[in-house]
Amino acid sequence: MNVFSSAAWRKSSHSYGGSGDCVELTTFQGMIGARDSKNPTAGYLQIGKQDFAALLREIKAGHYDL
């Protein structure tokens, strides 16, 4: 069973710029779920809260800028 099946997914307030590049997040028992809001049935990424926090720090620091 999908641990996030009954979860309330939240979309970033920055996702409404019209580009369609939106991510939704949810939490459950110490885990973060992330999925594409345009295709929520395609699956999700499950990551621990500490690892997700580290990923956000790296993104904010510009490590993944294209």
Residue partners of 29: CB distance under 8 A and separation at least 6: 3
What distance in Å separates the CA atoms of residue 57 and residue 41, rounded to the nearest whole number?
28
User: Would the pLDDT of 1 be above 60?
Assistant: no
The 10s digit of each residue's pLDDT in 7-59 is 899 987 766 666 667 889 999 888 999 998 888 889 899 999 999 999 999 99
Question: Judging by DSSP bridges, how do beta strands 10-11 and 23-28 pair with one another?
Answer: antiparallel
Q: With a threshold of 0.85, does the pTM exceed it? A: no
What distance in Å separates the CA atoms of residue 49 and residue 59, rounded to the nearest whole number?
15
